[in-house]
Amino acid sequence: MGFTNLPVSVFGDVTDVWTSTNQPAELGQIAFYKTTGGLWSLLKYCEATDGWTKGDVLVHDAAKNDPANLETAATGDGGLGNFRGIGAATVASASRGWVYVGGYCPAVSMPTNFASGQGMRISATYAGRLSSAAINATGGTLAGTSLIYTVAIALESATVSTANSFGSCNIVGVYL
């Protein structure tokens, strides 16, 4: 069995976004990132179809034929298995930026209440957010009708009065 060379790098700034004078990576490049606390993340350099905000939950843009083209999850994506990552920084429309695709993510848009260890999925109520889900990494059904895909595990607890909370999570699996 042989090994394949992947375009992988280790770097230090996940907030670098593409501009005409700053092109920190090639589209689709994979990178490892280690926080000062020693937590590891896997990131992918992607293009923002319509732009996204730091912490937005992202899905593949079905209108594009490139897995590196992503857009903010809509409420219609809720519970579906099309999660691809979480924006590491705010990125303008038709620009590029890093996306957390595996491991630790320090800032993700969450629902109003969540508990440490809670399974999370794409929200069907709030665009670009996660919401709680039953733990079932392979997908299952809820009342026999809708699929549930657990994409992340919350790493802290929060009780807030708005839908604009942020938390950290561990992304389950790798979505390339």
For every one of its 176 residues, what pLDDT tens digit does the chain have, with 9 covering 90 and above?
444 444 545 455 666 555 556 676 788 888 888 877 888 888 898 999 889 999 999 998 878 878 888 999 998 888 677 889 999 989 998 888 889 999 989 888 887 677 788 888 888 888 998 887 755 444 444 444 444 566 788 886 766 555 567 888 888 877 77
How far out from the chain centre does Cα 6 lie? Answer: 21
Q: Given the structure tokens 């942020």, which residue do they identify?
A: 166
C-alpha–C-alpha distance, residues 33 and 144, integer Å = 39
The amino acid occupying position 30 is I
- Is-contact 86 99, C-beta < 8 A? yes
What are 103's strand-pairing partners? 41, 171
Q: What is the pTM for the complete model shown?
A: 0.81
C-alpha–C-alpha distance, residues 164 and 149, integer Å = 22
The reported pLDDT for the residue numbered 1 is 44
- The domain spans of the chain are 8-171
C-alpha–C-alpha distance, residues 69 and 104, integer Å = 22
The reported pLDDT for the residue numbered 17 is 58
The reported pLDDT for the residue numbered 101 is 92
The reported pLDDT for the residue numbered 52 is 93
- Is-contact 11 29, C-beta < 8 A? no
The reported pLDDT for the residue numbered 149 is 64
The reported pLDDT for the residue numbered 12 is 52
